[in-house]
Amino acid sequence: MHVSSAISVYCWLTLSIMRFYAVKCPIKYRLMWKEPQMALIGVVLACATLESWILVTVKYFQHSCDDSSDKPLLATFFHLSDLILMLIIPSLARLILDMTVFISVYFSLPGNSFTKNNKSTISTLDSLELRIKRMSCVETNLELKGADLQINETFVIRSDKYAKNRNSIFFRAIIISAINLMLNMPAILQRFLVTIDYGHNQNAILDALGSHYENIAQLLYFSQFACNALYLSTTIYETMGQGSAI
């Protein structure tokens, strides 16, 4: 469960990074091919490796697992490190990236994201035309001059209609990401309170908050996985059909 939870959190962080990259470097973003797949493989391997501490501090009992009672400080250290590295840091990074995307899309002048640095050099004319068609976010005017076949790229910003559609897709993705983050917060708080209370009077703080807090936190935590389906059905599939996946 720890590994799958960490993978889920970092996959959502990867989506936030891709949205940020799509806004700041739209042309380079369109030219990505294997990078997302490699990022996913890296996330899975890294999370599985970093969560291997469970094999050291957790012992199996009949029909259950629990922390080793002879290593309370070590268990607390690993739990707190896992909480910070696998939940708190990526959640804060998602919040910062999504806020940056929101501000860039809705509070910047049109066309600010199309900078000179985004006009990447492409080796052949056919490759350029294919990428531009699939991207469908700019129009290009190519002039072939003599034997040098020099290419001049003229980028024209999309119409207001397309810009509004693009902005709505970004906004929808950010809302779903924010909902997912909020549903995770109670479980993160619960784990933090249990960790800092470990070895003293475990669950005393949670008991003070109310006996139903843990149940509510777990319900919200597992409900957040519905955001995966919501994101796929309302963002990924739609934008793939338009050639502008986020």
Average pLDDT score over the chain: 72
Which is more confident, 223 or 203?
223
- 175 shares a domain with 79: yes
Phi, psi (degrees; rounded to nearest 5) at 147: -75, -20
- 104 shares a domain with 139: no
- Going by C-beta distance under 8 Å and a sequence separation of 6 or more, which residues neighbour residue 217? 186, 187, 189, 190
3-class SS of residue 145:
coil
Task: Check residue 17 and give its pLDDT.
Answer: 92
Question: What are the pLDDT digits (tens) for 42-92?
Answer: 999 999 898 888 777 776 666 555 555 566 677 778 888 888 998 899 999
CA angle 83–78–6, rounded 5-degree value = 40
- Segments forming the whole domain that contains residue 134: 120-154
Residue where a domain stops, chosen among 130, 154, 178: 154
- 91 shares a domain with 8: yes
> Tokens representing 216?
């509510």
- 174 shares a domain with 60: yes
Task: Check residue 221 and give its pLDDT.
Answer: 86
Q: Which of 238, 106, 95, 246 is nearest to 178 (CA)?
A: 95
Residue 149, Ramachandran bin (φ over 0: left; ψ between -120 and 50: alpha; else beta): left
- 139 shares a domain with 159: no
Burial class (CB in 10 A: 0-12, 13-18, 19+), 50: middle
- 129 shares a domain with 159: no
- 124 shares a domain with 57: no
DSSP state of 44: H
Residue 125 has pLDDT above 60, yes or no: no
Question: How many distinct structural domains can be found in the chain?
Answer: 2
- Here the CATH number for the domain that contains residue 175 is 1.20.1070.10
CA angle 178–91–200, rounded 5-degree value = 120
- 105 shares a domain with 39: yes
- 25 shares a domain with 101: yes
